[in-house]
Amino acid sequence: MSEHKIPSWISFRVRPAEYQKIHGLFSKSTHRKLSEYARNVLLQKPVTIKVRNESADQFLHEMIGLKKELNAIGNNYNQAVKKLHTLNQFSEVKCWLNSHEPTHQNFQQLTEKIFQKLNEIHRQWSSE
């Protein structure tokens, strides 16, 4: 029979510390299966290792939170503006402006926070 048709098994034992080390290296790779990773290592094929940029991860996490907050404020603001278009008298407009001032302030504060964070990240990445 041809050796290409029937796969051969290679099985061996490792100590717990060795397994932890092998599994740790595997988990840093892009391989989904330990057997695939081990095969590439044993055959001296390239193994791609994932590299994590912690500052980029932190930045992304903070920006996602700010995006959610900003989106919620934007939705509330759009609803408020639609209401403003239905008002007919100056007293109603004045009341609307007063009642939506906190939303406007919140929007400005959040926007300022985003700009501060972007400037902070820019300074960190520029100095590297």
Give 6-28 pLDDT, tens digit per residue. Answer: 888 888 899 999 999 999 999 88
Give 38-93 pLDDT, tens digit per residue. Answer: 999 999 998 888 776 777 777 778 888 887 888 888 788 778 777 777 777 877 77
pLDDT at 15: 95
Residues in Cβ contact with 31 at an 8 Å cutoff, skipping those fewer than 6 apart: 37, 40, 47
Residues in Cβ contact with 46 at an 8 Å cutoff, skipping those fewer than 6 apart: 40
How far is residue 17 from each of residues 20, 49, 82, measured CA to CA in Å? 5, 21, 64
10-25 burial code (b ≥16 CB/10 A, e <16): eeeeeeeeeeeeeeee
124/58 Cα distance (integer angstroms):
12
The domain segmentation of the chain, as residue ranges, is: 1-51, 54-126
